[in-house]
Copies of this chain bind each other. A is one copy, B any other.
Amino acid sequence: MDGVLADIELQMIYHYKQRYGVQLTREDIQGLAHEQAFPLDAEKNSILYSPGFFRTAPVMEGAVEAVRELMEHFNVYIVSAAVEFPLSLHEKLEWLNEHFPFIHWRNITFCGDKSIVHTDYLIDDYCKNLNYCPGKPIMFTAHHNIHETGHIRVNSWKEVLDFFSKEIQTLTAEELN
């Protein structure tokens, strides 16, 4: 979810300004890890723990339409590393129900780490998650991962759809939804 469906980068920039009075731009934080990008908040990651943070995050551009399109061909699961932030569990579920009401609860997973979640594809912004995927891991570009080179990379949901439209050509009817 974070950094893929939800634009956590924009949400962090907004809350960083609100709390610390420092206006950052997306350009300012390119290539920086989370703690480097938002150093005043690094000690306790307090913004991430604040009520409403995940509930009010903006949707990543093109995500709703793209997920809906992927669901025509694939069984799409939402897998979010949410257990670290207890407040986020309910907020993330409400957020999904608001913005992605067409995703069934059966297809939503909130986990600690993602090591036991095995899927044919995984779209994620962190190597620590992608490295567990036994299928094809796909890195979604975020400020903190632009120097990573080990995975297929997509920069937008348009590029996700381009990737899967090619992928569909290689799959059998049985492999597709």
User: Chain A interface (Cβ within 8 Å of chain B)?
Assistant: 77, 79, 83-84, 86, 89-90, 93-94, 104-113, 116-119
Contact = CB atoms under 8 A, between A and B. Distances in A.
What copy number does this chain have within its complex?
2
Nearest to A112: B106
Contact of A104 (B108, B109, B112): B112
A112 B93 CA distance: 11
A11 to B, nearest CB: 21
Nearest to A77: B116
Given A86-B93, A89-B90, A90-B86, A108 B112 contact: yes
A9 to B, nearest CB: 24
A77 B90 CA distance: 21
Nearest to A81: B106
27 contacts: A77-B116, A79-B116, A83-B93, A83-B106, A83-B108, A83-B110, A84-B105, A86-B90, A86-B93, A86-B94, A89-B89, A89-B90, A89-B93, A90-B90, A104-B112, A105-B112, A106-B113, A108-B111, A108-B112, A109-B111, A109-B116, A110-B111, A116-B117, A116-B118, A116-B119, A117-B117, A117-B118
